[in-house]
Amino acid sequence: MPDSLSTARRLKEHLRRILAESDWEQRFGRLLASVDRPQQTISPLFAALYSPSQAIRWHAVSCLGIAAAELARQGSEPVRIVLRRCTWSLNDESGGIGWGAPETMAEILANVPHLAEEYASILVSFILKREQACNFLEYAPLREGAYWGVARLARARPDLIRPWQEHLLDAATCETSPPIIGYLCLILFNSNISSGQAQRFLGETGSRKETITLYWNKAFWNISLSYLARNGAPA
């Protein structure tokens, strides 16, 4: 037992160092190929979601998607276990705060597309108004992550997000957080939603000057809401 615990600690520390590096994706790929089972990386990656480092947290999200794609080679159930871990962490009964859980769900669904249809409605339910869904995330920072997640899934599977457009735009009328507004712009662009209400939202946001830090395409961008409203995701 001490040996296994020591090995787990070393893997956790090694992984954190990898996530802090500029070539984290290549290093993680080599690590994933070197372990006995891809499941060994899952718990250390979940722990990294709680890091004070923004880079480590977001790189952990991306790596969980990569690890899930490798897990999917064994079948769908190992990936479902990880997705259930995400949803459980957002439940009040879990006793914790599910930092990074909505973003991780979206990244996994983008990397394991055959499960996206099964879980897309759960991801969307985290941001719907209370009267529309029982999974609404009251805590705004967690809800910001859910909006990012919906934008990420919209990029990978716009067909799964487009049917929710009215509910999403309705929910957005209650939001004031600049990151959420920015993510909603990405949702509309990625889903090709062009209703009158969507165009009004984008037109109004196009005059806003706030800047947000956006993690997109595995890179960080300091970008204005007006840019996102007019252009969608950065290149």
From first to last of its 235 residues, the chain has per-residue pLDDT tens of: 345 556 888 999 999 999 999 999 999 999 999 998 999 999 999 999 999 999 999 999 999 999 999 999 999 999 999 999 999 999 877 777 899 999 999 999 999 999 999 999 999 999 997 655 678 998 999 999 999 999 999 999 999 999 999 889 888 888 999 999 999 999 999 999 888 999 999 999 999 999 999 999 999 999 999 999 999 998 7
Does the residue 225 lie in any domain? no
Does the residue 50 lie in any domain? yes
What's the token pair of residue 29? 């790929």
- Which positions ≥6 away from 36 have C-beta within 8 Å? none
What pLDDT, on a 0 to 100 scale, did the predictor assign at position 1?
A: 38
What's the token pair of residue 130? 């209370």
Does the residue 202 lie in any domain? no
Q: How far apart are CA 26 and CA 28, in angstroms?
A: 5
Q: How far apart are CA 96 and CA 89, in angstroms?
A: 7
Q: Is the pTM of this model over 0.75?
A: yes
What pLDDT, on a 0 to 100 scale, did the predictor assign at position 134?
A: 75
What pLDDT, on a 0 to 100 scale, did the predictor assign at position 8?
A: 84
Helix (H, G, I), strand (E, B) or coil at 233: coil
What pLDDT, on a 0 to 100 scale, did the predictor assign at position 3?
A: 57
If we measure between CA atoms, which residue out of 184, 224, 223, 221 comes closest to residue 202? 184
Does the residue 94 lie in any domain? yes
Does the residue 9 lie in any domain? yes
Does the residue 217 lie in any domain? no
Does the residue 141 lie in any domain? yes
Task: Note down the domain range covering 15.
Answer: 2-164
Domain count for the chain:
1
What pLDDT, on a 0 to 100 scale, did the predictor assign at position 130?
A: 62
CA distances for 180 relative to 165, 174, 175, 184, angstroms: 15, 11, 7, 6
Does the residue 30 lie in any domain? yes
